[in-house]
Chains A and B, each alone.
Chain A
Amino acid sequence: MSAANQLYQDVILDHNRKPRNFGKLAAASHQAEGLNPLCGDHIWVYLRLKDAQVDAIGFDGQSCAICKASASMMTHAVKGKSVTAAEELAQEFRDMALGRLDPESAEHHLGRLKVFAGVRDLPTRVKCAILPWHTLHAALNAVAQASTEGEDDPVPGSGVEQPGHA
């Protein structure tokens, strides 16, 4: 089975249709808006931090299935973690999606998130998977808005990718 089919089989069935922690969080202490203008993905990540720990997390918005499933699994993975551990996981996820971290050989804390490893073979979709993590990072650092383009681009060197024409 191809990378794309495998990825969709593994994550879509469950998390796209029944996303975990979907919805605005009451009494969020931190939140950020994430935007992928190329794809149209537009999400919000809400956090309630307590003693430098992720006490509660939620997300909502409109996005493709890869982004939604990534966000859903992210909320599941970081809930209860320390801010430092959440940031570390965000870094590992990004490295994996870009193909810099092979979850089969390197050490990591990704657990079930490694189903997203296949997205490295879909270069036009890498940003869809990374967007929730990029937005989480912005929320943790009290940045109101994150984008996958411009100065804020989480994928260095990808600024040459253009939305295409006509």
Chain B
Amino acid sequence: MNSRSAAPREPRADDLGLDVERIREDFPILRTRVNGKPLVFLDNAASSQMPQAVIARYVRYRTSEHANIHRGVHHLSEVATREYEAVRAKVRAWINAGEEREIIYTSGTTDSINLVAHGYGRKFIGAGDEIILTVLEHHSNIVPWQMVAEEKGAHIRVVPCNDAGELDIETYRSLFTERTRLVGVTHVSNALGTVNPIADMVAIAHAHGAPVLVDGAQAAPHLPVDVQALDCDFYAFSSHKLCGPTGAGILYGKARHLEAMQPFKGGGDMIRSVSFEKTTYAPIPHKFEAGTPPIAEVIGLGAALDYLSAIGIGSIGAHEDELLRYATDRVGAMAGVRLIGTARQKAAVLSFELDGIHPHDVGTLLNEEGVAVRTGHHCAQPVMQRFGVPATVRASFAFYNTLPEIDALVAAIRKVQKVFAG
């Protein structure tokens, strides 16, 4: 995997195919010290860090390329428009979409899902219709559908999961009726890390004539995503979990759905012509991109995809799998620790709780050791209810994390237990 090393070398304990020490040098923030200790950043599922290449691209745009896009005939507007539009091809390639016009820029995954809820849901879902969601969804793939269901008098059906955090596919199959209008499912659970069998679930939904929206926020940074192979109808993800800036995201949709959809936001840049008698909309993708977008952020996302592509999603995923395996073994073997989410197929997330210690106390004391984790309900309260916990501690990994950082997590957990043991 490491094509740069021509000569054979001694394998090391942390030899996972990536030159992680060199990669870490690309991320200035990883040199931060917290409470006098080296930062161990294990909150990547909330937001990943930016490599210098992305920061530099962002600064270059701000320094020498900024103007509004699709507007002026002047030099800067042309440069900004070209650089901004060029990112569509990179995104298309990242998820293997068929066409660039199927790539809609949004402000993030939440915005992408809301666009489908408003543009597709409110047009094609009516009274008595049904929407299938899963118990593993992030609130952002629950609440927009509840809003549509409430407005239209539609109903939501929920796919349960087993004690490992794997969806019950037989129950899923049984939830379809002739009123099923849409399925919303996360590719990777943000709270548990479960990788869901999307291709199978899409095939089942399509057999019942229902389109599928996939929340890919936690999958796009870790797995090779091929929307054509998955055959999903919509795929949503965010820039800031992919080493890009916040404020930018993507909605992929099959062209025929996007063309049938109602625009969500009206305004400039989304029209072909406007008069008070009749306005005609621009063709996709611009039909959904009203107003001045986050230009610098989209260009930053493009730089992030360049950076990640150079490393390769295969190498990234393999390294993260090794980190997850090691962390699962080491943390799972500790006395007083209960892992939450033990699916056979997982990506980059280790959720757990410590006996008799509230996750927020764990988070505060881990921070004392420089270890950054997420504690709380992870915007997935139905998952917490399913597992009977108010919150969990979640360590989530990126390709720039190392095995010694997991050792640091384990040592820090031990310290927390010691404080509480008195």
Q: Footprint of B on A, CB under 8 Å?
A: 2, 4-5, 8-9, 12-13, 16-17, 38-40, 42, 62-66, 122, 124-125, 128, 163-166
A166 touches B138 (CB 8 A): yes
User: For residues 278 through 328 of chain B, which have their beta carbon under 8 Å from a beta carbon of chain A?
Assistant: none
Q: Is B128 an interface residue (CB 8 A)?
A: no
B376 touches A8 (CB 8 A): no
Contacts of B360 in A (CB 8 A): 39-40, 64, 66, 125, 128
Contacts of B47 in A (CB 8 A): 165-166
A12 touches B419 (CB 8 A): yes
A39-B376, A40-B377 known; A164+B46 contact, CB < 8 A: yes
Contacts of B150 in A (CB 8 A): none
User: For residues 224 through 256 of chain B, which have their beta carbon under 8 Å from a beta carbon of chain A?
Assistant: 241
B365 touches A40 (CB 8 A): no
* Chain B: CB-nearest residue to A14: B422
Contacts of B46 in A (CB 8 A): 164-166
* Chain A: CB-nearest residue to B45: A166
The residue from A40, A128, A166 contacting B379, defined by CB atoms under 8 A apart: A166
A2 touches B35 (CB 8 A): yes
**Taking the nearest CB of chain A, how far is it from the CB of B42, in angstroms?**
14
B241 touches A5 (CB 8 A): no
* Chain A: CB-nearest residue to B246: A165
Give CA–CA (A12, B367) in the complex, Å: 17
Give CA–CA (A165, B108) in the complex, Å: 12
Candidate in A9, A165, A166 with the most chain B CB atoms within 10 angstroms = A166
Give CA–CA (A128, B358) in the complex, Å: 12
* Chain B: CB-nearest residue to A9: B419
User: For residues 333 through 374 of chain B, which have their beta carbon under 8 Å from a beta carbon of chain A?
Assistant: 357-361, 364-365, 367-368, 374
Give CA–CA (A60, B113) in the complex, Å: 40
B364 touches A125 (CB 8 A): yes
Candidate in B364, B391, B420 with the most chain A CB atoms within 10 angstroms = B364
Contacts of A165 in B (CB 8 A): 46-47, 140, 379
Give CA–CA (A40, B392) in the complex, Å: 11
Give CA–CA (A124, B138) in the complex, Å: 23
The residue from B140, B365, B377 contacting A5, defined by CB atoms under 8 A apart: B365
The residue from A5, A12, A40 contacting B390, defined by CB atoms under 8 A apart: A40
A9-B419, A40-B377, A165-B379 known; A64+B365 contact, CB < 8 A: no
Q: Is B218 an interface residue (CB 8 A)?
A: yes
Interface of B is mostly: loop
Q: Is B402 an interface residue (CB 8 A)?
A: no
B241 touches A122 (CB 8 A): no
User: For residues 172 through 200 of chain B, which have their beta carbon under 8 Å from a beta carbon of chain A?
Assistant: 190
Contacts of B379 in A (CB 8 A): 163-166
> Nearest 6 pairs between A and B by C-beta?
A40-B390, A64-B358, A13-B422, A64-B360, A65-B361, A166-B190
Q: Is B217 an interface residue (CB 8 A)?
A: yes
Q: Is B378 an interface residue (CB 8 A)?
A: yes
A12-B419, A62-B390, A166-B138 known; A4+B376 contact, CB < 8 A: no
A122 touches B376 (CB 8 A): no
User: For residues 21 through 78 of chain B, which have their beta carbon under 8 Å from a beta carbon of chain A?
Assistant: 35, 45-47
**Taking the nearest CB of chain B, how far is it from the CB of A18, in angstroms?**
11
Q: B370-405 toward A: CB 8 Å interface, digit per residue (1/0)?
A: 000010111100000000001100000000000000
The residue from A5, A17, A38 contacting B376, defined by CB atoms under 8 A apart: A38
* Chain B: CB-nearest residue to A39: B360
Contacts of B378 in A (CB 8 A): 166
The residue from A5, A40, A164 contacting B419, defined by CB atoms under 8 A apart: A5
B35 touches A65 (CB 8 A): no
Give CA–CA (A16, B358) in the complex, Å: 11
Contacts of A8 in B (CB 8 A): 361, 365, 419-420
A166 touches B419 (CB 8 A): no
* Chain A: CB-nearest residue to B416: A8
Give CA–CA (A39, B364) in the complex, Å: 12
B376 touches A2 (CB 8 A): no
**Taking the nearest CB of chain B, how far is it from the CB of A83, in angstroms?**
31
